[in-house]
Structure 1
């Protein structure tokens, strides 16, 4: 069967919200006169680990730590970064090429659905996507395949009829466990050598036109 739909991860793939996340936590630690250990920052799953991060900071700061104030200040800082954040390089061109080819578009993310709609509305890209599947709509985050299976269900397609795009190893695992072929575009914080299970590995979405990507995928 030919590819009828493209299913994109969101954070780090459609938009570089991974960097803004790191920047906001780095700044929060700086406000307390501390330095964030960035080597352990990103988890190997798509779940929210904010509680663990706040617990670590609270232990470093001591009794004076104000979680509520810190969260408010960090969120406001990140929101300001997002005010001008657009799609990742090459993605807008891919979406236009997909539309020209009559391909359906979907998002499958471990992030909450409201996060997806809010950011895609801000850039004006929400109408492009026929289906959104968020992490708050399934029982487990990536690498569990549940969110991809939900996206496929909403599209009414078989895994062979869609292609996934991911930026993390656990995202690729989720897609392949759902039976999808997957193009990996590692985000700036992930070692490209960790993607041997991807169908195709690209450095960025600017590295190849979407029709060329689809041609390569269809030869597998």
Structure 2
């Protein structure tokens, strides 16, 4: 029986990778004229937590300066996303979960300001019982801790939950937490997502295979 659904945010509730790519390109151009390809973004940036990512991008900077760069990038992203569209089928899934009283949680490597901004831009500020962000935990994805914490907050066992992810770090984290992981192919190829541990890859939340999975786990 399913009692909990745990969702990543970027690329899962809404397709934001193009906006993040543009924000990173603006930041790197401002800093040292560096270019960033779509391929490099998908391979090395998408889904990573900022602390690790900005240490890689700016090894010469102090910790405080890296944090300032991260805050600048996220401000650029928020400026580009005053409104956002949910992925097809998401509202249907959330309404179903509400109707059958499933617990709902966001588990994201994004900073809290971004998470709050995105949920507001989607009109989903009140949809989730908990919003867990990597900055407030000891370890971000790909470590399973964020998803284990989400299960704990919802009072659910891994076998009672589904996780929805779109990135390799996210899929790795959710599957390592023992949760059946459904990947959205918004940012990565199905092959990469399956290799990272996804058990089902879908284009959006209207996929009949997802609804068959949910139906198969209804309470007798």
**Shorter-chain TM-score: what band?**
0.7 to 0.9
Partner of 2:123: 124
Q: Deviations over 1:37-87 (max 9, x none)?
A: 33222437632113543569x9xxxxxxxx999878755542232102232
Q: Deviations over 1:120-145 (max 9, x none)?
A: 13332121101221101222221100
**Partners in 2 of 1:23 and 1:191 — Cα distance?**
21
Partner of 2:190: 192
**Residue 50 (str. 1) matches residue 83 (str. 2):** no
The CA deviation at 1:6 is 0.4
**Are the aligned partners of 1:199 and 1:217 in contact in 2 as well (CA < 8 Å)?**
no
Q: Could you say which structure has the larger radius of gyration?
A: 1
**Are the aligned partners of 1:94 and 1:209 in contact in 2 as well (CA < 8 Å)?**
no
The CA deviation at 1:163 is 1.0
- Count of aligned residue pairs for this structure pair: 208
**Are the aligned partners of 1:13 and 1:187 in contact in 2 as well (CA < 8 Å)?**
yes
* 1:85-164 equivalent positions in 2, closer than 5 A: 85-164=84-163
**Partners in 2 of 1:8 and 1:71 — Cα distance?**
23
**Partners in 2 of 1:68 and 1:145 — Cα distance?**
24
Q: Which runs of 5+ in 2 are unaligned?
A: none
The CA deviation at 1:191 is 1.7
Q: CA RMSD in A?
A: 3.1
**Are the aligned partners of 1:94 and 1:210 in contact in 2 as well (CA < 8 Å)?**
no
Structure 1 window deviating more from structure 2 (33-42 vs 5-14): it is 33-42
Structure 1 window deviating more from structure 2 (165-174 vs 208-217): it is 208-217
**Are the aligned partners of 2:104 and 2:154 in contact in 1 as well (CA < 8 Å)?**
no
- C-alpha distance 109-29 of structure 1, shift in aligned 2 (>3 A): closer
**Partners in 2 of 1:54 and 1:217 — Cα distance?**
46
Partner of 1:84: 83
- TM-score, normalization by structure 2: 0.79
**Are the aligned partners of 1:97 and 1:210 in contact in 2 as well (CA < 8 Å)?**
no
The CA deviation at 1:170 is 2.2
Structure 1 window deviating more from structure 2 (154-163 vs 198-207): it is 198-207
**Are the aligned partners of 2:81 and 2:121 in contact in 1 as well (CA < 8 Å)?**
no
Q: Which runs of 5+ in 1 are unaligned?
A: 59-66
